[in-house]
Structure 1
Amino acid sequence: IGSALRGYGVLLRDRNFLGLSMIGAFGMASFMAYLANSSFILIDHYGLNPTLYSVMFSINAVSFIGVSQLTGVLTRRFGLNAVVRTAVNGFIVTMLALLVVWLLGVDRLEVLAALLFIGYGFLGLVIPTTAVLALEEHGQIAGTASALMGTLQLVTAAVVMGVVGSFFDGTARPMVIGIAACAVVAFALTRLTIKPVRLVAAAAE
């Protein structure tokens, strides 16, 4: 127990570990917000039957999981930091576009589906790369670090799901706002935690 507590103490004092973990946490929370609300929105609001709902839901999962398979190739070519920053940039642009379109009154299933498909594709790059970056400096306590990171992500997702659910009004508005808010927080944390590649190179020189 003492060893575990010392490990948690080290991790909780590591701003880089916490920043990277929370980038992934808010990315995951955005997906969980969709997970918790999509059945009510797609079936009740847009009128899909259960079969079509399952197809629509699986499309986003395919995007998330499919793009994540490119993580190894992209990181070997461009580096982890560059992949994270680019993926987070794509994620926030897509989700803010969804928010703006919805606020302009475009409440259409195909628009929602297309932008979520793209956004969650970018998120498929964010989750694994931030996890690798967060754990790479804590190899000796990797199990403790993984446990803490998972706890932070699940707690964050639970809070976001509860907040978004409390504003549910039968439309996609609370969900879209919640997803966009998660993207904004993930973007801000990325800017604070991960330096641009050129600045890292300059510091090394």
Structure 2
Amino acid sequence: MTTSFFRVALILGLLSAIGPFAIDMYLPALPTIGADLNADHGVVQLSLLFFFIPFAISQLLYGPLSDMWGRKPPLYFGIGLFALASIGCALATDIETLIAFRFLQGIGGAAGMVIPRAIVRDMHTGVKAARLMSLLMLVFSVSPILAPLTGSAVIEFYGWRGVFWAVMIAAFIGLILLSTQLEETRLKEHRAGSGFGTALAAYRLLMKDRNFLTLTFIGGLGISSFLVYLANSPFVLIEHYGLTPTQYSIAFSVNAVSFFTVSQMTGYLGERFGLVRVMRIAVCGYALTMLAMLVVMGLGMNQLPVLASFLFVGYGFLGLVIPTTSVLALEEHGAIAGTASALMGTLHFVTAAVAMVIASLFFDGTALPMVAGIAICAAAAFIVTQARMGRRRLAVEAAAE
């Protein structure tokens, strides 16, 4: 691989991580925000939900815009809006204002999630795309490792408002890298004929593509299980298990280490065994691990080391599921990669938002409702995989292997 390959992966990973950075860095502050703004757990969790909803839906707009105008202009707008909204969050004096600016953050941060995937598809397909996607995710996965630790340190010295000043700085760094280090990959000749009419036609085409939808929902259910953990883990690990914010950050980061370490094997395994086979085996391992965790903890072995061990293994398998499903879903849609990436991202996060809401309804301060939500998402991913592939092999399999 060339230096340029790694440079592109680094920049795309950083742009993709800006939005999630505002989540992961924010997690250790949730109990403190609730106390400072006089809001209960459910209302504080709404600040996460009201980030995810626009984060999911706005991708539907950014994708077609990036097909019509090129990849960089929508990125400039999105990351710039995210930076300005971060300032508003830092200055919020009540939970309603915070939630409103988190909503705007979600709209802006969506650009960094959807467009880098389209750029990967612009540049590569197949195993090479999977290798670039896994490198992108390596950088992206630094967020769950460094962000909670950084957030804990910032909170200790500057309070929870310091978190939002920090993500504002990260957004400006992203804008500088975007303007100076990343070339436009959607050339003018490829944009010819692109418009909102063609975007609607592309969305209709994608919604009829069972292969695309299957792969998207498999990845989306995997992401849902992680976001159920993300939304509930601060309260479970800090208030139920008694960890300090710093200890929580370390525990949270361990899962990210498992995820990104295993994800780096995607290119090698895909080249040797085929991306579809790797994905199917990874989904099976992921589901079995999370279901075993539910059974063991349901039987009364609900200690923190047990929870942490199962999550470490399960999210390792998930590190193979996410890049393989993303690459395979976009494989046949290079001409509308931005639109396809947008629909994929929206379906991912709408699925995750539904899972988070359902899990929050059963939250009782213990680990079991969270674990049940994670296991149900994993089982659903397995069922979708087996049901769809049992009828007919994915059309992309022959091309991928």
Is 1:121 equivalent to 2:326 in the alignment?
no
1:187 partner letter: F
Task: Tell me the secondary structure at the aligned position of residue 106 of structure 1.
Answer: coil
Q: Which residue of 2 aligns with 1:143?
A: 338
Deviations 1:11-70 (A, max 9, x none): 000111101000000000000000000010001111111111000000001111121111
Is 1:174 equivalent to 2:364 in the alignment?
no
Q: Which residue of 2 aligns with 1:193?
A: 388
Q: For 1:111 and 1:185, locate their aligned partners in 2 and report how far apart those are by CA, in whole Å.
A: 23
Is 1:152 equivalent to 2:337 in the alignment?
no
Q: Which residue of 2 aligns with 1:19?
A: 214
Contact 1:81-1:194 at 8 Å conserved across structures? no
Over the matched positions of the two proteins, sequence identity in percent amounts to 63
State which of 98, 113, 138 in structure 1 corresponds to 2:293: 98
Q: For 1:164 and 1:95, locate their aligned partners in 2 and report how far apart those are by CA, in whole Å.
A: 15
Contact 1:56-1:113 at 8 Å conserved across structures? yes
Deviation at 1:194, TM superposition (A): 3.4
Q: For 2:329 and 2:213, locate their aligned partners in 1 and report how far apart those are by CA, in whole Å.
A: 8
State which of 349, 358, 361 in structure 2 corresponds to 1:163: 358
2:199 partner letter: A
Q: For the pair shown, which has the larger CA radius of gyration, 1 or 2?
A: 2
State which of 19, 22, 37 in structure 1 corresponds to 2:232: 37
2:321 partner letter: V
Q: Which residue of 2 aligns with 1:69?
A: 264
Deviations 1:64-112 (A, max 9, x none): 1121111111100110111011100100110011000011011110000
Task: Tell me the secondary structure at the aligned position of residue 200 of structure 2.
Answer: helix
| TM-score under structure 1 length normalisation | 0.94
Contact 1:22-1:186 at 8 Å conserved across structures? yes
Is 1:81 equivalent to 2:268 in the alignment?
no
Contact 1:85-1:194 at 8 Å conserved across structures? no
Deviations 1:155-190 (A, max 9, x none): 111111111011110101111110110011100111
Deviations 1:126-173 (A, max 9, x none): 011011111111111111110000000011111111110111101011
Q: For 1:193 and 1:130, locate their aligned partners in 2 and report how far apart those are by CA, in whole Å.
A: 14
- Unmatched 5+ stretches in structure 1: none
Q: For 1:139 and 1:42, locate their aligned partners in 2 and report how far apart those are by CA, in whole Å.
A: 43
Q: For 2:258 and 2:216, locate their aligned partners in 1 and report how far apart those are by CA, in whole Å.
A: 22
Q: For 1:193 and 1:142, locate their aligned partners in 2 and report how far apart those are by CA, in whole Å.
A: 23
The alignment yields a C-alpha RMSD, in angstroms, of 1.6
Task: Tell me the secondary structure at the aligned position of residue 182 of structure 1.
Answer: helix
Task: Tell me the secondary structure at the aligned position of residue 338 of structure 2.
Answer: helix
Structure possessing the higher relative contact order (Cα contacts under 8 Å, 6 or more residues apart)? 1
Q: For 1:152 and 1:63, locate their aligned partners in 2 and report how far apart those are by CA, in whole Å.
A: 25
- Unmatched 5+ stretches in structure 2: 1-195
Contact 1:20-1:193 at 8 Å conserved across structures? no
Task: Tell me the secondary structure at the aligned position of residue 357 of structure 2.
Answer: helix
